[in-house]
Structure 1
Amino acid sequence: MLFIYGALTVGGIETFFVRMAKERFKNNLHTSILLLSKPELSNAELLSEMKKYANVIFPKDIFHGPALLCRRLPLLCQVDEERLVANLKSIDQIHVYHGMHALLGYRLAQKLKKTIPVTVGFYHYIKYLWGGDDVAWHEKLNRKFIFKYLPEESLSFFSEGNRELYIKHKKQKFEKSNTFRLGVIDKKMITLSGDIVAPVKIAAVGRLVEFKTYNFYMIDVIKELRLKGVDIQFDIYGSGQLKHQIQEKINKANLQDRIALKGTLDYSSFDSTVSNYDLFIGSGTAIIQASSLGVPSIVGVENMVEPNTYGYFCDVWQHEYNLKGLNLPLLKIEDIINEFISMEKDKRVELKEKHLDSINMFTNESCQNSMDVLKHIEMPLDDFKFNKYFYELSRIFDWFNIKFNSKHPRRTQFEDYRNINED
């Protein structure tokens, strides 16, 4: 298998790729990953971990031409076919997240003169929905390749809820697509306790980005709880463009002694760090990993403006729990925290056990087995043809448009979800 991605920064997709490489290594299955960036842009620990289990290659390893051009516009670069074969002769599947990476993978398969299936993971529900039809030419081509050319079996939605969302918007049935769950954890022995010691400690882990609105409204929740005399601490792990805005809100609320921005949490430190907390709030794969430690985990619904949630992960794991607007009752996060604090010890242990039971569908072994089967997908016999020069020109013009046009649909992609009624 070949993964194609940008850089191994600390995030859910990146750590997932590392876990899959490790699981495949245990099964004597070859894995390669092509990173379209400089090595130093990846997290050093993640990159080192990936190198234990996979053949890590960079554009300079398979392309001729200026390094910057090969990283930014790989579709235009000449492939060194001898080095390509040397690096990728063993791959039997190409897996991607981004549309351009899918087209690049398709091109590399052609250069290898092999029929290698290209598979796409829908790691974020809005990835191929934002903008509707109001997107640049290259993005329309991405979606044409993914939804009209690739076999449905090549599409992995990772949940039934995500597939239903695309059925609704794309007017396709996607009957042969995949909904197996992401591999996040290895089963482990956990000792549970119902005790809590003041202050009650809550953690959030993830990128500090626009759609993870819980990082903002939790400041209001902590403020309200403190006014009511609750001894509580909230630690936020992660980095991102909203770090300074979050810190400003913390300062304005005068909660610097109760809410801390802890910076990026190392991949290897997640379990040992998060297991020391009483509660977790988050989304994506981080909430699954926290649940696997027996830490009661509150779903941080993405783009939710008010401090509301569907509840604990153990009660909604079978749904697309990140997604706003599900037909599920909304609960106040402040109420959930208060109820947790007032629980009897045995009820807290029971809640933790429910979280441990809920992650059985998210094992790395199960996911890897499901992904490996995709290598048998038959690609279409007809070639997918497009003008790579027009494609890259469209990407370049759109990059400037995104940068300078505040109304670009890429920059407003979460507004529709944020405006969903929360009553």
Structure 2
Amino acid sequence: MPDQKIMRLLIVNLHLDIGGVETLLVRLIPQLARRGVSVTLLLLQKKVNKEFYDSLITHCDVKFAADAFPFTKKHLQAFFGGQPDVAYFTINQAFVLGTWLLTRAGYSTKTVLGAYQTEIFCAEAKPWQYHRRLVQNAIRNRIPASSMIFGNTAGRDFHADKLKVSFNASPIVRLFVDIEKYKFIDRSQLPRIEIVSIGRISPYKTYNFTILPIVSRFVASGHSLKWHIYGDGEDYDKLRNTVDAMGLSDHVHLHGAMSYSRFQQVLDNAFLFVGSGTSLIEAAACGVPALTTIEYAEDAISYGFISEIQGFNLIEPGLDKKVFAIEEKILETLALDTESYTQLQHECYRKANSYSGDSVVDEYINVFHAARKTGTAVRLNSFQMMLYCASAALGYAMKKLGLHH
């Protein structure tokens, strides 16, 4: 049992807009607060979903990195309001900036990393990419495996292979979803026209592009298929331009960012959901058959419906699972009779229910308490921070110029 001393937990994330990690934090933080954990959420960007923010401000102290300036020890100690016991980082930038700020404040806060995307901490690091090597060397040499949280075994194994580090001692804490807040709706009588996807339009979510030729073929064959995509991200403009160039603007509708409270509403006419992350689980909870995609895939492929997949590895590349063409699964769904479609709905719903439960929150708390006792306080000096910023800026500029980096 963890000791009963109140824990001061600092969570550092990129922003609080709609995304997989952000929805996890919106579920997790109130539960942590109810269990007596004092939570501060530090955001690197002032990019905030109002619903998310309003739901959190009564459960934690929300701070923005810009307010940490001028980065003096005195100011930072006032900014943090005392030394956090544990800092929980969800992305590279959060780890680097957060750790540097804590170092400047003179704190020895223990480090925990949460890896919820296939290569979040293990993307290829070329010799000049100091911004990646800094983080990866910290993982190899400073952060114990017990302080690395993975959402599933696939993510853990992928990081282990790329970083050449054993993460056998790393906790696997599955994602969790508030299944109870959604209403299961029988969709067997709906016209099978609308497909919906909800999530960030990011480079690793390649399905946003690889499914477009499938829609084009359906349209050419006379089918009135509509694909509604909700979300924004780095590739939003690129996707918009591709849809227009392919002449699909009447069939592929990009709605941009949506209010999260509308999640169930935008699925009202959906006969199929295609996507990744927790949105798959939430869609299935609403009664929409949820078809997985595979991160980074160059083709429109899937491991099937969530109900067809054993365990909690759903979207990672290279899994030892049967792979289907997404077009094949769409055709299969269109051909189902009413009884078979209803059965598919319920099978996906039952799978979604396996992501519910308070035990997940207890697992997080156990990891944080263990880190407070036996974890490591990583420190970064200003010279390292300067090199990190220069390397990251160079990588960003090369990407904008269309150069390989």
What interval of TM-score do these two structures reach, taking the shorter chain for normalisation? 0.7 to 0.9
Residue 381 to residue 178, structure 1, CA distance change in 2 (3 Å): closer
> Residues of 2 paired with 1:252 and 1:81: CA distance?
50
In the TM superposition, what is the alpha-carbon distance from 1:172 to its structure 2 partner?
2.5
Question: Is the aligned partner of 1:136 residue 2:129?
Answer: yes
The offset of 1:249, in angstroms, is 2.9
Matching of residue 30 in structure 1 with residue 25 in structure 2: no
Is the 1:280–1:297 contact (alpha carbons within 8 Å) kept by the matching residues of 2? yes
The question of whether the paired residues in 2 share the 8 Å contact of 1:64 and 1:78 is answered with no
Q: Give 1:125 shift.
A: 1.4
1:331 is displaced (CA, Å) by 1.5
Following superposition, the deviation at residue 225 of structure 1 comes to: 1.6
User: How far apart, CA to CA, are the structure 2 residues paired with 1:30 and 1:382?
Assistant: 20
**Closer/same/farther in 2, CA of residues 402 and 381 from structure 1, 3 Å limit:** closer
Residues in 2 aligned to 1:403 and 1:115: alpha-carbon distance in whole angstroms: 31
Please give the alpha-carbon distance, in whole angstroms, between the structure 1 residues aligned to 2:126 and 2:239: 33
1:54 aligns with 2:49: no
Q: Does structure 2 conserve the Cα–Cα contact (< 8 Å) formed by 1:302 and 1:322? A: yes
Residue identity over aligned pairs, in percent, reads: 21
- Deviation at residue 92 of structure 1 after TM alignment: 4.2
What SS does the aligned partner of 1:359 have? helix
* Counterpart for residue 80 of structure 1: 75
Mapped contact 1:95–1:119 kept (Cα < 8 A): yes
2 CA distance for matches of 1:258 and 1:208? Answer: 18
1:238 aligns with 2:231: yes
Q: Return the alpha-carbon distance in structure 2 between the equivalents of residues 258 and 193 of structure 1.
A: 25
Tell whether the 8 Å contact from 1:150 to 1:380 is kept in structure 2 after alignment. no
- State how far apart, in whole Å, the 1-side matches of 2:136 and 2:378 are: 13
Q: Which residue of 2 aligns with 1:420?
A: none
Equivalent runs, 1:173-184 vs 2, <5 Å = 173-184=166-177
Q: CA deviation at 1:84?
A: 4.5
TM-score (norm 1): 0.83
Aligned mate of 1:8, from 16, 27, 31: 16
8 Å CA contact 1:138–1:391 kept in 2: the answer is no
CA change 1:262–1:380 in 2 (3 A) is: same
SS at match of 1:288: helix
Instruction: Select the residue among 387, 395, 399 that pairs with 2:392.
Output: 399
Change (3 A) 1:18 1:189: closer
Q: Give 1:157-236 correspondences, 5 Å limit.
A: 157-188=150-181, 190-236=183-229
Q: In the alignment, which residue of structure 1 is the partner of 2:6? A: none
> SS of the counterpart of 2:227?
strand
User: For residue 130 of structure 1, what is the amino acid of its counterpart?
Assistant: A
User: Residues 219 and 81 (structure 1 numbering): CA distance in 2 closer, same or farther, change over 3 Å?
Assistant: closer
Aligned partners of 2:243 and 2:249 also within 8 Å: yes
Question: For residues 303 and 384 of structure 1, do their structure 2 counterparts lie closer, same or farther at Cα, with a shift above 3 Å needed?
Answer: closer
CA separation in 2, counterparts of 1:341 and 1:383?
Answer: 54
Q: Secondary structure at the match of 1:335?
A: helix
Cα distance in 1 for partners of 2:63, 2:366 equals 24
Q: Secondary structure at the match of 2:196?
A: strand
**Alignment length (residue pairs):** 396
What stretches of structure 2 of length at least 5 have no aligned partner? 1-8
Please, what TM-score do these two structures have when normalized by structure 2? 0.86
| CA-CA distance at 1:287 after TM superposition | 1.5
Question: Cα RMSD between the aligned structures?
Answer: 3.0
User: After alignment, is 323-332 or 103-112 more displaced?
Assistant: 103-112
Counterpart Cα distance in 1 of 2:377 and 2:230 = 45
Distance in 2, matches of 1:172 and 1:98, equals 19
Distance 1:203 1:274 in 2: 7
Q: 1:33–1:54: 8 Å Cα contact kept in structure 2?
A: yes
Asked if the contact 1:198/1:231 (under 8 Å) is kept, the reply is: no
Distance in 2 between the 1:29 and 1:276 partners?
Answer: 41
Q: Distance in 2 between the 1:383 and 1:27 partners?
A: 24
Q: Please report how far the alpha carbon of residue 47 of structure 1 lies from its aligned counterpart in structure 2 after TM superposition.
A: 2.0
8 Å CA contact retained: 1:117, 1:376: no
Secondary structure class of the residue paired with 1:278: strand
Tell me, in whole angstroms, the C-alpha distance in 2 between the residues paired with 1:411 and 1:206.
27
Offset from partner CA, 1:139-196 (integer Å, 9 cap, x none): 3232222232122111011111111212222232212101120123333574442524
Pairwise CA distance, 1:204 = 0.8
Matches of 1:325 and 1:360 in 2, distance apart?
26
Asked whether 1:330 is paired with 2:323, we answer yes
Q: Deviations over 1:4-49 (max 9, x none)?
A: 1232122111121111112224445432201233x4x322332222
Task: Report if the CA contact (8 A) 1:149-1:380 is conserved.
Answer: no
Pick the aligned partner of 1:151 from 144, 155, 158. 144
**2: CA distance, partners of 1:238 / 1:222:** 19
Measured in 1, the distance between the counterparts of 2:398 and 2:107 equals 42
Distance in 1, Cα, partners of 2:387 & 2:197: 38
For structure 1, which runs of at least 5 residues remain unmatched after alignment?
71-76, 414-423
**Equivalent-residue separation in structure 2 for 1:381 and 1:27 (angstroms):** 21
